[in-house]
Every structure is written in C-alpha cells, then in structure tokens.
Amino acid sequence: MSDQVTRLLVIRHGETAWNTEARIQGHIDIPLNDKGRWQAERLAQALVDEELHAIYSSDLARARHTAEAVAQTAKLQLNLDNSLRERHFGRFEGMTQEEVASQWPEEARRWRQRDPGYGPEGGETLQAFYDRCLSALTRLAQQHPGQSIAVVAHGGVLDCFYRAANGLELDLPRNWQITNASVNRLLFNGEGFSLVGWADNRHLDGPDADGAASLDERTDGMVARRA
C-alpha cells in the first residue's frame, strides 16, 4: 500500500428519537437518544486500538456527540465541518415519508425515484448534496496522506460515500445497510475512493444490547474547532 493512501473510517451517528419514528431530520438538530449515547460509547471502545490521526464530524448534535465519545477515548481534538451535514430536506424536515406522500405525491415520487435534479422546496437537490459530500471527504482525505482519519456524519452522507467508492449512479436504489454507529472503511489514493469494509457493527452486539431499542437502518431522512 502506498504511504500516500489515506485510510478513512466513515461512521453514521448514533440513534435518535426521530430515527425510531422514521422522521426526516435533515438539518434539524436532533440529539441522540439513550440508545444512541450507548452506541457512541461502544463505538469509542471499539476504536480504542485504532491509530487515528484526526477526527472530523458534522456540526449537528447527533453526529457531534457521537464523535466526541471517539475523540475523548482517542485523546484527539474534534474538528467540526458543516459540509458533512445531512442533506437539507427543506419543507420535508420533521415529517415522515407517509406525510410527505400525502401532501405532495408528485414530489414524493421524484424523491423515491432518486431524481438527481430534484430537491424539496427550501432544500438541496440530490446532485448538489452528493457533490457537497464528496468535495468534503476529498478535501479531508487530501489533508492526511498516509494517515488514518475518522469522519462522523449522517445516513445520506454515508450513502454518497458508498456510491462514490463503488462507482454507483445516484438514481440506483439502495440495497446496502447504513446502520447507526457502525464502522465503514474506505481508502483514498489521491484520485478516488475504494471500499475496504462496510457496516461493521459487532461492537453493538452483546448482552447489554437488548436493553435499548432496535437499530434503525432507515435514511436520516464540548468545545470543538471548526475545520
């Protein structure tokens, strides 16, 4: 492996109450629920032996608080970057998919079909969101050649990363998991991304896992320095 390759751990935030209700979070700043905080702690312990050189996170609370647990265990400063935020869903935010379909059936159809040029009123198009996410990840990876970094973000953001690493079109239906607080591994060779491993959530198994609500696999919809 080239010493200029950047190794990336890309991680979705822990669970929130709106995950369990399947509400579209977008840019609304929803905190972790009890299970999400538990997941963040388990994640931090799972990464204790990783040789991380930097940790970056979306500035939204659900991602930031997940990343803070990792940063504290790794004894690293957490860097916030608002370009790692979830897609802005405009007037859809706070609603369920069923509520969107009831009020705006044609818009819901275009959203379900993953039309790259479509964006809800007040929100981002899918293409603009993808471009934002890939630009952010590329910028961060370029800053750390030969190093390992962790990036904590959101379900939609990680979907963009997966598609980029596998050369998949934006309108292809998703058939891969993006679970809360799972570990996903990518490489950046200076030109593009490749997939090493995906959806490793073994650290969330065990006897105490039964005390919290089940993992949500649906789309998301401390002082730190800003990157």
Task: Report the mean per-residue pLDDT for the chain.
Answer: 92
Helix ranges (H only) for the chain are 17-20, 34-46, 61-74, 97-103, 105-112, 126-142, 155-166
Of 15, 41, 68, 86, the catalytic one is: 86
Which SS3 state, helix, strand or coil, does residue 180 take? coil
Rounded to whole angstroms, how far apart are CA atoms 41 and 69? 6
Show the domains of the chain with their CATH numbers: 6-226 (3.40.50.1240)
Q: What is the pLDDT of residues 62-96, one digit of tens each?
A: 999 999 999 999 999 999 999 999 999 999 999 99
Measure CA of the first residue to CA of the last residue in the chain; give whole Å. Answer: 28
- Using the predicted structure, report yes or no on whether residue 218 has a pLDDT greater than 70: no
Q: What is the pLDDT of residue 187?
A: 98
Catalytic-residue membership of 13: yes
pLDDT over 90 percentage in the chain? 89
Catalytic-residue membership of 86: yes
DSSP character for 10? E
Which SS3 state, helix, strand or coil, does residue 185 take? strand
User: Do residues 71 and 149 lie in contact, with contact meaning Cβ atoms separated by under 8 Å?
Assistant: no
Q: What is the pLDDT of residues 22-48, one digit of tens each?
A: 999 999 999 999 999 999 999 999 999
Q: What is the pLDDT of residue 121?
A: 97
Q: What is the pLDDT of residue 115?
A: 97
Residue 181, C-beta contacts closer than 8 angstroms, at least 6 positions apart: 11, 12, 13, 14, 15, 36, 39, 40, 42, 43, 66, 201, 203, 204
